[in-house]
Amino acid sequence: MGYPHPAHPRETPVISRYFGDAEARTLAGWQKRGGYEVLRQALATDPVDVQNVVKDSGLRGRGGAGFPTGVKWSFMKPDGKTHYLTINGDESEPGTFKDREIMRWTPHQLVEGAAIAAHAIYAETAYIYIRGEYTEPIHRVREAVKEAYAAGILGANAMGSGKRVDVHVHKGAGAYICGEETALMNSLEGRRGNPRIKPPFPAVAGLFAQPTTINNVETVSAAQHVLRHGADWYKSLSSPANPKSTGTKLFSVCGNVAKPGNYEVGMGFPMKEFLWDLCGGPPAGRRFKAIIPGGSSVPILTPEECEGAVMDYEGIQAAGSLLGSGGVICFDDSQDMVRQIARLARFYAHESCAQCSQCREGTAWTTRILERIRDGQGTMQDLDTLLEIADNMSGKTICVLSDSCATPVVSGLKKFRHEFEAKIPKNRSSVMIPGFSPAAA
């Protein structure tokens, strides 16, 4: 199987098992591989029992925050209200491209996972929100949904269970912020994708003001394997050293690395072996200079900090960063960190939804200062200003996009300060405004 490299013997392909296998995309192919049997069982099981198996497995949300999935599901009570499930397929975090592969290669895995999760939270309707740029994944998932309806797997009497399960695909239109759960709900409702102030939390009043659960594509895909093989089996896939991070995780790897791609390993996998044995290390003749281990919004690590780190929520935190969405971005020693961090800040400035001033102004200001330093026009004072702005952007806004911009800037400044300083002309104490002469003013 040549996806895009042959599977490494140290990988544990559960979710990614059928990546590259075109037959698994079809309903017949998915059923041949045991597909939809777990859904059939789940529909005959009390939702609380489904929640409990997932709780016992220790599965945590794969969208970034790592919240325990079974616990999240258990917030939804049979209260007679209309419940909604929303599947987050917005995946726009730079460095992360795992959900795309789940949707491209195993769309029925997602549809089945969505239907199971809907049942577990007493919902009849699930919306799968997929970013607009994902034309092929959208097409694949839509086809899978169509096939599932035609076969009676979805609809008014799903698999003959007497229960209604509807799954709809909703296409985004280009906005990173719509991956934030409340922004996604606004977008689905036909509004601008502005995050909402919490509380109320989605479990109380989410989509269309009804109790709502939102789960990442990888999360619900993993949940069905948990139900199929049991909580103990799922826990056995990860390192026994840390019972708080269980099962497998799909990591996306990109940037300056020999073999970029998606790799599924058990939680607790040693990062050094991951980067070298699986991903082939840095490009030939180069050395790693920096690694961002969890998508672009987490702190930057130096290769030394990655040395003894293990890849699970607590392990990466102990190394000084976060597991996040599992997007590993590699920088080799040819990179100008100031230029790349400035480019990252520009991403956040572009993607800010602009409702909080700290974020709207902070991301733009940070970008301008970083670009000025990049272009050799900065001052030493700018470095302090950057930290000051970052401080004002963190923990003070409606959502954490603002913090996400500040994080790589602060960690970049801390760990690569010499590169910033090297770009600042000596004795430059104030900013030169082109065409402005203090004498003439």
Q: Is 397 in the site for ligand SF4 (CB under 6 A)?
A: yes
Whether residue 120 contacts residue 75, with contact meaning beta carbons closer than 8 Å, is answered with: no
* C-alpha triplet 68, 74, 79: angle, nearest 5°: 155
Window 98-127: residues binding other proteins (CB under 8 A): 100
Q: Which residue is nearest to ligand SF4 (CB)?
A: 359
Tokens of 42: 């789940």
Q: Is 63 in the site for other proteins (CB under 8 A)?
A: no
Q: Is 355 in the site for ligand SF4 (CB under 6 A)?
A: yes
Q: List the beta bridge partners of residue 186.
A: none
Q: List the beta bridge partners of residue 330.
A: 255, 291
Residue with tokens 């895995």: 109
The CA-atom distances, in angstroms, between 190 and each of 139, 178, 187, 207, 214 are 21, 12, 5, 11, 17
Q: Is 142 in the site for other proteins (CB under 8 A)?
A: no
Q: Is 175 in the site for ligand SF4 (CB under 6 A)?
A: no
Q: Which of 42, 126, 253, 298 binds other proteins (CB under 8 A)?
A: 253
> What string of DSSP letters covers 314-335?
HHHHHTTS--TT-EEEEEETT-
Question: Alpha-carbon distance 385 to 197, whole Å?
Answer: 28
Window 88-107: residues binding ligand FMN (CB under 6 A): 88, 90-93
Q: How far is the CB of 298 from ligand SF4 (least distance, A)?
A: 16
> What string of DSSP letters covers 117-158?
HHHHTT-SEEEEEE-TT-HHHHHHHHHHHHHHHHTTSSBTTG
Window 181-210: residues binding ligand FMN (CB under 6 A): 181
Window 401-440: residues binding ligand SF4 (CB under 6 A): 401-402
Window 182-221: residues binding ligand SF4 (CB under 6 A): 195
> How far does Cα 209 stand from its chain's mean position?
25
Report the relative pairing of strands 288-292 and 327-332 from DSSP bridges: antiparallel
Contacts of 304 (CB under 8 A, 6+ apart): none
Window 303-332: residues binding other proteins (CB under 8 A): 327, 329-332
Q: How many CA atoms within 13 Å lie on the side-chain side of 101?
A: 20
Q: Which of 29, 31, 65, 161 binds ligand FMN (CB under 6 A)?
A: 65
Window 70-89: residues binding other proteins (CB under 8 A): 82
Q: Which of 5, 163, 343, 360 binds ligand SF4 (CB under 6 A)?
A: 360
Q: Residue 179: name its binding partner from other proteins, ligand SF4, ligand FMN, none (Cβ under 5 to 8 Å by kind).
A: ligand FMN
Q: Is 299 in the site for ligand FMN (CB under 6 A)?
A: no
Number of neighbours of residue 426 by Cβ within 10 angstroms: 5
Give the phi and the psi of residue 220 in degrees, each rounded to 5.
-70, -25
Kindly tell me which of 215 and 397 has the beta carbon lying closer to ligand SF4. 397
Which range touches other proteins (CB under 8 A), out of 216-224, 350-358, 365-373, 432-440? 350-358
Q: How far is the CB of 20 from ligand FMN (least distance, A)?
A: 23
Q: Is 294 in the site for ligand FMN (CB under 6 A)?
A: no
Question: Alpha-carbon distance 399 to 187, whole Å?
Answer: 15
Q: Which of 35, 94, 137, 179 binds ligand FMN (CB under 6 A)?
A: 179
Q: Is 401 in the site for ligand FMN (CB under 6 A)?
A: yes
Question: Alpha-carbon distance 68 to 249, whole Å?
Answer: 14
Q: Residue 132: name its binding partner from ligand FMN, other proteins, ligand SF4, none (Cβ under 5 to 8 Å by kind).
A: other proteins
Give residues in contact with ligand SF4 (CB under 6 A): 177, 195, 352-356, 359-360, 397-399, 401-402
Give residues in contact with other proteins (CB under 8 A): 82, 91-97, 100, 131-136, 166, 168, 170-176, 187-193, 208, 252-256, 260-262, 296, 327, 329-332, 335, 340-341, 343-344, 347, 350-351, 353
